[in-house]
Amino acid sequence: MTQDKSKEIVSTRVFNAEPDEYDPSQPRIGRRESEPHSTEITYIHDVLKTNFPQHHPLWDLHHYFEHEGEDIDVQFDISFFLNYSIPTTLSSYHAAEHGNRVPDLAINILSKSTWRSDFSENLEYARLLKIPVYAVFAPFDVATRPYQPPFARAYLLQGDGSYRFIDLRTAIPEARSSAPFPQQDQLDTGTLLPFNFGLVKLEKTHEKQKPLFRLVLIDKETSRMFLSKVELQERKIEQEKQRAEQEKQRAEQEKQRAEQYLALLRKNGLEPRE
């Protein structure tokens, strides 16, 4: 369903929920306010940086834009620019210094203090700026019932400038996440991005045994998740262990065959030559 006004796709539960615990008029350094929040920002940034070196991800920065003569300051946990490179690290992203480019993807990870703004003003900013994909997801139970995990949503920009959103409410257990993701467990980004989204239910839990979830990026061709640098290293180590074990088994089999051959020779009264 396509809708052209963000207020039409923001649940009134956002405004009826309990008030935020922080003063939005005060400076706020970053959005990270829990271990899962911080971990998932780092994880997504690592996956993007490792697998898409021709593109550029940013993490946890203020983004400054100008829209119709008005200055916009918005924070995204992750922003991703296709076919673009920034040679230096940044303290914040000023679009005017980068040809007024907007990211091709912006992701916000829902948290107890920011989820309302992620579904309201941050969403509206993304629409006004015509960011092709704006995505949100819940790493654990941080919001009201409609957004209970497993939950991810992607807003996809349409030709008329409105957003169409797609929800994903299924998660693959971490133990099975190395297998291809079924199509129904992928959030399809169409031609807007070089990957789809999926959700993984992690084996570890948050405090009070709350389940933890991870937003993962899915290869459109293989339906397998793109791995982080650490995961690739772990996979390489595991593959080397498997090869070493296979070599050990082959050597043991050769030894057994040689011993069986010698036993057969001696049974027939023959001694092997030195």
pTM over 0.75, yes/no: yes
Q: Which amino acid is at 249?
A: Q
Task: Tell me the C-alpha distance between 149 and 166, whole Å.
Answer: 15
Give the sign of the dihedral formed by CA 157, CA 12, CA 112, CA 70: positive
pLDDT for the residue numbered 150: 97
Q: Report which DSSP code applies to 99.
A: T
Pairing state of beta strands 93-94 and 172-173?
unpaired
At the topology level, CATH places domain 2-20+29-227 in tt1808, chain A (3.90.1570)
CB-based contact 206:140 (threshold 8 Å): yes
Q: What is the pLDDT of residues 155-189, one digit of tens each?
A: 999 999 999 999 999 999 999 999 999 999 999 99
Angstrom distances, CA of residue 165 to CA of 40, 168, 192, 272? 22, 10, 13, 77
Q: How many CA atoms lie within 13 A of 214 on its CB side?
A: 27
Low-confidence stretches of the chain (pLDDT < 50) are: 1-29
